[in-house]
Amino acid sequence: MFEKIEIFDKRYRELNQRLYEPGVAADPDKYQKTMKEIKSIEEIVLTYREYKKALQTESESLEILGDASDPELRELARAELDEAREQLEKLEEQLNILLLPKDPNDERNVIVEIRGGTGGEESALFSAVLFRMYTMYAEKRGYRVEVINQNETELGGFKEISFMIEGEGAYSRFKFESGVHRVQRVPETESQGRVHTSAATVAVLPEAEDVELEIDPKDLKIDTFRSSGAGGQHINKTSSAIRITHIPTGMVVECQDERSQYKNKDKALRVLKSRLLKEKQDKQADEIAADRKSQIGSGDRSEKIRTYNYPQDRITDHRIGLTLYKLESVLNGNLDEVIDALIAADRAEKLRESME
């Protein structure tokens, strides 16, 4: 392991020196590419340097314990030795995690699709709650949110809504959100105060890059139609909405959020490419059973992953047995505690499998 990290350390020094070369400093593309590579190995290198410092402290403390006769000095050396060994254990575990193979999609933008499930109008209203939660969370992390398509109900819910989240590491933060989200609450449509259970499904797709997926224009059927839905200002005035059908798979994507037909077509194609890429990646993952086992339930739309219980102010993630009594805070976009726990559980599982 340490031989591999020494290579990273050497490369890290080389890259930092390269930043000052005229050919790199004056070329924005080369500079950005170099910075990206630096960032990809920086945490490993800096953690390793801390590890080497702790090793040095351990060695010096042992030397003092072997030579010193002064009880006070020996006691100080013993305390430093214990602290160094505790730090070494933590840093070694951290390095093992950092060296695990990374998800190649982690740095990508994502397309999130939310659809109302069981529960009729109440599930549509809950879909709007999830959209608000993700939007607020994205904003807290400095990501940009762009709605692609929405089918709004009269009460302000969404039968379905799809949106792009753009920002560094967006997929790494949102990828575990795919699945069925269940809500238990008294619906706005309920007059007798009874708690109902309904659900919405969430799909998270890594945005496909053009070089990864080529689509033959002959395989596409493109239709235009007039926008429809609750409250749209230009509904039925222009045929700007786009529906694209991918003939080989039968996959259909609609986009009517923009006034421009061209913009709607561009957005719809981005969604189509991302769906096709996700389908391709899922097939590859299914062929590698060990890889599929190492995932904390990411990507399966049929799996019930989380319950939001309003009467008890409780949110439960069923995949890792996490329960928090701070539902309102989470729905206001404070998702880090949940997502960090999912990432930690995923890393722990992959680390266990790598050691086996």
Q: What is the rounded average pLDDT of the residues 138-142?
A: 96
pLDDT digits (tens, 9 = 90+) for 81-125: 999 999 999 998 888 888 877 788 888 899 999 999 877 889 999
- CA 204, distance to chain mean position in Å, is 8
d(CA 284, CA 274): 15
- CA 186, distance to chain mean position in Å, is 30
pLDDT digits (tens, 9 = 90+) for 283-331: 766 654 443 344 455 444 567 899 999 999 999 999 999 999 999 999 9
Exposed, middle or buried by CB within 10 Å (0-12, 13-18, 19+), for 161?
Answer: buried
Q: What angle do CA 127, 129, 130 make, to 5 degrees?
A: 65
Q: What is the rounded average pLDDT of the residues 213-218?
A: 79
- How much is the pTM? 0.68
Question: What number of residues does the chain have?
Answer: 356
Pick the CATH number of 2-98 from 1.10.3470, 1.20.58, 3.30.70, 2.170.240: 1.20.58
pLDDT digits (tens, 9 = 90+) for 69-84: 888 888 999 999 999 9
Q: Are 267 and 258 in contact (CB under 8 A)?
A: yes
Q: Write down the pLDDT at residue 180.
A: 94
Question: What six digits make up the tokens of 160?
Answer: 């379905």
Q: Write down the pLDDT at residue 53.
A: 94
Q: Write down the pLDDT at residue 275.
A: 84
Q: Are 301 and 180 in contact (CB under 8 A)?
A: yes
Under the banding of pLDDT at 50, 70 and 90, the label for residue 213 is: low
Amino acid at 321: G
Q: Write down the pLDDT at residue 191.
A: 64
Q: Write down the pLDDT at residue 239.
A: 64
The reply to whether 110-349 shares the fold of 2-98 is no
Structural domain spans, the chain: 2-98, 110-349
Cα–Cα separations (whole angstroms), residue 136 to 127, 276, 282, 324? 14, 28, 29, 19
- Candidates 350, 352, 327, 349; CA nearest to 337 is 327
Q: Write down the pLDDT at residue 274.
A: 85
pLDDT digits (tens, 9 = 90+) for 49-58: 999 999 999 9
Q: Mean pLDDT of all residues in the chain?
A: 85
Q: Domain 110-349 - what CATH class?
A: alpha beta
Backbone angles phi, psi at 304, to 5 degrees: -75, 110
Q: What is the rounded average pLDDT of the residues 198-219?
A: 81
